[in-house]
Amino acid sequence: MLLGKSACVLTRRACTSRAVVTVRRYCCQKSPQKLRVTEALSSQELGANIKIKGWVRSIRSQKELLFLHVNDGSSLQSLQVVASSELNVRGLTYGSAVEISGDLVKSPHKKQNVELQATHIQVVGECNPVDFPFKIKERHGLEYIRQFPHLRCRTNTFSSLLRIRSEATSAIQSFFKENNFVHIHTPVITSNDCEGAGELFQVEPAGREESPDEENTGFFDVPAFLTVSGQLHLEVMAGAFPRVYTFGPTFRAENSQSRRHLAEFYMVEAEISFTQSLEDLMMVMENLFKSATECVLARCPEDVELFHKYVAPGTRESLDVMLKNRFKVITYTEAIDILNCSSQNFAFKTEWGCDLQTEHEKYLVKHCGNMPLFVINYPYDLKPFYARDNEDQPCHTAAAVDLLVPGVGELCGGTLREERLELLRARLAHAGLEDAYQWYLELRKFGSVPHGGFGMGFERYLQCILGVENIKDVIPFPRFSHSCVL
């Protein structure tokens, strides 16, 4: 066979105590197979000629050999690349983007099965490691990398978070599909405030002069807002489908910069028809939590381990207990009794009729063995107009349920919906909302059925399973008061 310069293969052989490089050149080789790093790491085709594209996570140069670790976001683990020092091209630094071709061979090192012996290295995008805010072989904390929302996806910690977030999204979608829920795309712009909290972002046109007809009515003819919940729209759909859900962004104009609050976050919301039982809702909540978590642990073991080892040690053991045991259930009245018997001094009141605050929720979870805890039957006056009246005396309660989890507090909140037309009309009239919600009353007139639903904060779910304290560290681009970067 004639020798040519079209391709080369690197091999390493022992020569006294130093590894040296021999270059064998062949012509007429096939085009390299394009692989993701995770595919290359798990490949059994030793000797295959492949091409990878990614970013340099580490670089070490010796007299005759060059060692790189390259990552493309497909896994936490990087692929080691071994090359002749002749291939140490200009611009090849920590953080640079590269395309590398070569042969996949068995690695002599115990920590990796394969490595890439490079025959060609091309720098696609240069990176000045002096100016780059993340330094090689340095572990950066979540608070530090939060300062660089445009670059933090390049760190191991945040790239792991994004892979986990992606798998959790897929797992949640799969759970609902397997349980015969229909996915509904509820609107982001709405004229309803289903929570009644008033913490709304109003939607108005910008940079456009109103026409005379719009001067008094606005673009939509009615006040419009970014949604705080897709619940009411799901209730519409629950009149035609027994099980529906939505999964999308929601918005709250709460002026808070705490570790718990975002102005934009994602909610998983479900509505179930033909039910008069909080137990039905609690079963779906518990099964959703366990199913999604088991999928994430199975599909992202290395990424989850990074958080459980370096961010929140002990979280994995806590998760295993949650997954193996049934969640506990207490009433709101029992919760108040537990708080009032506590020796802890709470900042907020613990009288019957007061809403549970985060400090109360975390105490209750701890009191019940650091297990997820359902609290049911809240005071009627604490809940929105749509919550079903239990018509109980002397305590007047609504058929409502919150799921409290370790480290977070409230994760899910739901209610049975008031399907009795006259009771609902009286509640709306008392709140001065009867005119605005005539359409909602009509849902009870035409083929109405008992139904209920709940919402789960997706970012709070990620906080719970990973042990992350600040909610800003589990969303790609956090928005909160006085901060909307990018």
Q: Do 156 and 119 reside in the same domain of the chain? A: no
Supply the CATH number for residue 118's domain. 2.40.50.140
Q: Give dist(CA 401, CA 376) in Å, integer.
A: 4
Residues 341 and 416 in one domain: yes
Task: Kindly tell me if the per-residue pLDDT of 156 is higher than 60.
Answer: yes
Domain that holds residue 68: 7-125
Q: Is residue 189 part of a domain?
A: yes
229 and 114 within one domain: no
Residue 4 pLDDT greater than 90, yes or no: no
pLDDT beyond 70 at 28: no
CATH number for position 419: 3.30.930.10
3-state SS assignment for residue 97: strand
Helix (H) or strand (E) holding 410: strand 409-416
Given a cut of 60, is residue 20 above it in pLDDT?
no
Nearest to 179, CA basis, from 95, 244, 229, 223: 244
Q: Are residues 198 and 118 in the same domain?
A: no
Residue 100 sits in the same domain as residue 191? no
Q: Are residues 114 and 159 in the same domain?
A: no
Domain count, the chain: 2
Give percent above pLDDT 90 in the chain.
77
Of 107, 125, 143, the position where a domain reaches its end is 125
- Judgement on whether residues 297 and 199 belong to the same structural domain of the protein: yes
Do 197 and 97 belong together in one domain?
no
194-203 average pLDDT score: 72
Q: What pTM was estimated for this model as a whole?
A: 0.89
DSSP 134-182: S-TT-PPPHHHHTT-TTTGGGSHHHHHHHHHHHHHHHHHHHHHHHTTPE
Return the pLDDT at 139. Answer: 86
Cα–Cα distance, 139 to 128 (Å, whole number):
19
Query: What sign has the CA pseudo-torsion 376, 379, 384, 389?
Result: positive
Same domain, 185 and 315: yes
Residue pair 149/208 in contact (Cβ under 8 Å)? The answer is no
- What average pLDDT does this structure show over 471-475? 96
What's the average model confidence in pLDDT over 310-318?
A: 94
Mean pLDDT of all residues belonging to the chain: 90
- Say what the pLDDT of residue 24 is: 47
Is the domain of 165 the same as that of 235? yes
Q: Is residue 98 part of a domain?
A: yes
Domain match, 363 and 448 both: yes
Residues 106 and 176 both lie in one domain: no
The answer to which of 105-109, 197-201, 361-365, 388-392 has the lowest mean pLDDT is: 197-201
- Statement: residue 31 has pLDDT above 90: no
pLDDT single digits (tens) 48-104: 999 999 999 999 998 899 999 999 999 999 999 999 999 998 999 999 999 999 999
Secondary structure class of 454 (helix, strand, coil): strand
Residue 479 maps to a domain: no
Asked if the model's pLDDT at residue 319 lies above 90, the reply is yes
* Residue at a domain's end among 90, 125, 160: 125
Residue 140: inside a domain: no
